Amino acid sequence: MVDPAQLTADLIRCTSVTPEEGGALTLLEDRLSSVGFTCTRVDRGDVSNLFARWGTGKTFGFNGHTDVVPVGDVAAWTVDPFGAEIRDGFMYGRGATDMKSGVAAFVAAAMDFVSETPPGGSIVLTITGDEEGAAKDGTVALLEWMQTNGETMDVCLLGEPTCPDDMGQMMKIGRRGSMNAFFKITGQQGHSAYPHRAKNPLPAMACLVAKLSSAELDQGTEYFDASSLAVVTIDTDNTATNIIPAQTRSTVNLRFNDAHSGASLTDWLQTQANGIATEFDVSVELETSISGESFITPPSALSELVANAVEIETNLTPEMSTSGGTSDARFVQHHCPVVEFGLVGKTMHQVDERVEIAQIHQLKSIYTRILRDYFT
């Protein structure tokens, strides 16, 4: 049997900071090939991706990523960030939680399943090295390659860490949309002693961000909490106190539910900008970047399959949630029904990121049960 904790350690020791492959996908390709998976590298640009299939017919898919965020201040770590050190039942290292343990768990489950109880169908694994970065050449490239080559998944499970505090606590059946809005307000520079001779863009920006941050976008929908807007930057490159600057910028981040689209929110933001421009007699420019629309996989056979397996293995009924940030499920949902379940994600992206070793084994057991029930 494949030890998912040992496989997690092997993956952590691969320095796969986005977009570096670091040997992680090469390692997985070797392991999967040894039990009969047909593996294809689907690299694009600087990004490495792996597609693996075993069998034909009815297809269960797993999706995950082996890339990790940078370690930050190495001196702040108490362990080697890529050493996979074990302390008091926890394995430490960048990616231990997000999400090399999740990948190790579903790879180990799939390898053992096809070796010991070959299913009457097929298993597909899509593993990318570009989830933590721009995410333009990762799962997107894999799905485009699949479409071109006639490859499909009937359903897909992402192994992202979904549980806030306890193993089995939460699964994801959708995600909020995410977008950034960039505002630039231009007035007229002048001397601070003669404000009437200038057009100060700062009061205009202050009014704009106050209006945006106090606006109620909605009160939530059937499967989603209320949408949110956060002002994340206000920048004015002016160190002189006797100058009224000509220009200031700000950025807001929006996380939105299925009451909105990126386009509808862009229109609303533009309306707010136009109002400020008129009120203060300044120029207000708006640019938006939409990283993903909201989506939902309504409770169905797939979510029940996952929830039942989680409940049996953990004695907890997972909450079907749409909370949190974005994930590659936003791409997979265009291909097939998709849900997410993984272990506790408390320390992801932190210094001394770590995973409880017992949870890695438990996650493999959950994935194994899901496969067994799906193909029964």
Domain final residue pick, 271, 292, 313:
292
Cα–Cα distance list, 168 to 163, 174, 190, 225 (Å):
7, 17, 60, 21
Identify whether residues 84 and 210 lie together within a single domain.
Answer: no
Q: Are 165 and 307 in contact (CB under 8 A)?
A: no
Q: Active-site residue among 21, 29, 130, 131?
A: 131
Identify whether residues 272 and 284 lie together within a single domain.
Answer: yes
Torsion of CA 362, 367, 368, 373, to 10 degrees: 130
pTM over the 0.85 mark: yes
Cα–Cα distance list, 48 to 39, 102, 136 (Å):
13, 18, 12
Host domain of residue 306: 4-175+295-374
- Residue 135 has a pLDDT of 85
Q: Which of 213, 305, 202 is nearest to 245 (CA)?
A: 202
Please give the structure tokens belonging to residue 176: 């909020």
Q: Active-site residue among 21, 67, 258, 356?
A: 67
Identify whether residues 50 and 122 lie together within a single domain.
Answer: yes
Residues 6+ apart with CB under 8 A from 149: none
**Alpha-helix runs per DSSP H in the chain:** 4-12, 24-33, 100-116, 139-148, 201-214, 262-280, 301-314, 329-332, 357-374
Under DSSP, the state recorded for 299 is S
Please give the structure tokens belonging to residue 147: 């479409």
Identify whether residues 31 and 70 lie together within a single domain.
Answer: yes
Rounded to the nearest angstrom, the gap between the alpha carbon of residue 340 and the centroid of all alpha carbons in its chain is 11
Sheet holding 49-55, edge to edge: 38-41, 49-55, 122-128, 59-65, 155-158, 338-340, 170-172, 319-321
- Distance CA(27)–CA(30), nearest Å, equals 5
Identify whether residues 92 and 241 lie together within a single domain.
Answer: no
Identify whether residues 335 and 357 lie together within a single domain.
Answer: yes
Q: Residue 317's domain is classified under what CATH number?
A: 3.40.630.10
Domain final residue pick, 269, 292, 315:
292
Torsion of CA 199, 287, 326, 103, to 10 degrees: -120
φ, ψ at 56 (rounded to 5°): -135, 165
Cα–Cα distance list, 237 to 202, 240, 247, 340 (Å):
12, 9, 8, 43
Q: Residue 215's domain is classified under what CATH number?
A: 3.30.70.360
Identify whether residues 164 and 16 lie together within a single domain.
Answer: yes
Sheet holding 86-87, edge to edge: 86-87, 90-92, 354-356
Q: Are 229 and 245 in contact (CB under 8 A)?
A: no
Identify whether residues 124 and 186 lie together within a single domain.
Answer: no
Identify whether residues 286 and 301 lie together within a single domain.
Answer: no
Identify whether residues 195 and 309 lie together within a single domain.
Answer: no
Per the annotation, the verdict on 131 as an active-site residue is yes
- Residue 286 has a pLDDT of 98
Indicate if the alpha-carbon torsion angle 272, 278, 279, 282 is positive or negative: positive
Q: Which of 92, 91, 88 is nearest to 79 (CA)?
A: 92
Identify whether residues 299 and 161 lie together within a single domain.
Answer: yes
Under DSSP, the state recorded for 215 is -
Domain final residue pick, 292, 309, 338:
292
Q: How many domains does the chain have?
A: 2
φ, ψ at 157 (rounded to 5°): -120, 125
Identify whether residues 134 and 189 lie together within a single domain.
Answer: no
Per the annotation, the verdict on 258 as an active-site residue is no
Residue indicated by tokens 């979510």: 303
pLDDT (tens, 9 = 90+) of the chain, 376 residues, equals: 999 999 999 999 999 999 999 999 999 999 999 999 999 999 999 999 999 999 999 999 999 999 999 999 999 999 999 999 999 999 999 999 999 999 999 999 999 999 999 989 999 999 999 998 888 899 999 999 999 999 999 999 999 999 999 999 999 999 999 999 999 999 999 999 999 999 999 999 999 999 999 999 999 999 999 999 999 999 999 999 999 999 999 999 999 999 999 999 999 999 999 999 999 999 999 999 998 899 999 999 999 999 999 999 999 999 999 998 889 999 999 999 999 999 999 999 999 999 999 999 999 999 999 999 999 9
In which region does residue 86 sit, left (phi positive, over 0), alpha (psi from -120 to 50) or beta (all else)?
A: beta
Q: Are 270 and 278 in contact (CB under 8 A)?
A: no
Q: Are 154 and 305 in contact (CB under 8 A)?
A: no
Instruction: Please name the amino acid found at residue 336.
Output: C
Q: Which of 325, 323, 334 is nearest to 140 (CA)?
A: 334
